[in-house]
Amino acid sequence: MNTPSLNKILDIVKDASGLMKTDTFEISQKEGFANIVTSSDVAVQDFLCSKLKQLVPGSGFLCEEEDMWDTTHEYTWIIDPIDGTANYSRGIAQCAICVGLKHNDDMVIGVVYIPMAGEMFYAEKGKGAFLNGRQIHVSDRPFENSLLCTALPVYHKEYAQICSEIITEAFGRCNDIRRFGACAPELCYLAMGRCELYFEYLLSPWDYAAASLIVTEAGGTITSVDGSPLKLTQKSGVVAANNADNHRIMTEIIGKKINTEQQK
């Protein structure tokens, strides 16, 4: 089976974004105030799944809402209908529709659309990364002039202390820190040179899968926090950087703090 048309996927994602343009969405809690879902999340996911399964009959789906976790197929769609639901629910622009297509163990298509900013990021394996039709590339800034996008683990606050220590040490060695509140937009910002570093201690596949291809196709490096390749269908810590040297420094900072914590 051939990989489906990227343009068709982009059209489907744009159409799905129309379901986010409402002031009447409902909000419910999945696990308290930190983990919410809106009726728009569900509507976008349902729309995407219904359209994308027609492009690749027999494909599997790994999605944030409604416990869709079927990765036994040759092709698997990895979808976050709204990455940054908390931002979306409060009218903050950093929220995105994320659609990735995995073929066996490899991401082959990644799409991240930020509707409020009108920014469509996308990549196809081996063909580069793009923003609204223009090819993008990571910056060449060194660690000391890098911006680090990061966050404390809102769903796992038991890890807040070690994350704080990692962030504090990195902050002392880089330029500054940003927290936009959504993984995929931040990784795309790294891919286009708005920032150079990214770290989160624990994420779900739908948070990072689509954007991970955009990062690598833009010349960046992205792995799990121990430097091993991302598993794509498992929860994982994520570290990314604009180049191998900056990635090495960031993983060394993380590894030192994790090893110290384990020795306590």
Of the candidates 195, 198, 218, 220, which has an alpha carbon nearest to the alpha carbon of residue 207?
Answer: 198
Choosing from 12, 78, 79, 82, the catalytic residue is 82
Choosing from 150, 207, 251, 253, the catalytic residue is 207
Is residue 83 annotated as a catalytic residue, yes or no?
yes
Choosing from 41, 64, 65, 196, the catalytic residue is 64
Choosing from 12, 65, 79, 83, the catalytic residue is 83
- Is the separation of the CB atoms in 124 and 6 below 8 Å? yes
Residue 175, judged by CB atoms within 10 A of its CB (0-12, 13-18, 19+), counts as middle
Is residue 207 annotated as a catalytic residue, yes or no?
yes
Choosing from 41, 65, 80, 217, the catalytic residue is 80
Question: Which residues, other chains included, contact 217 with Cβ-Cβ below 8 Å and sequence gap of 6+?
Answer: 110, 123, 124, 125, 126, 127, 128, 129, 191
Is residue 226 annotated as a catalytic residue, yes or no?
no
Is residue 80 annotated as a catalytic residue, yes or no?
yes
Is residue 82 annotated as a catalytic residue, yes or no?
yes
Is residue 196 annotated as a catalytic residue, yes or no?
no
Cα(56)–Cα(77) distance, integer angstroms: 9
Choosing from 38, 76, 85, 150, the catalytic residue is 85
Which of the 8 DSSP states describes residue 56? S
Which are the catalytic amino acids? 64, 80, 82-83, 85, 207
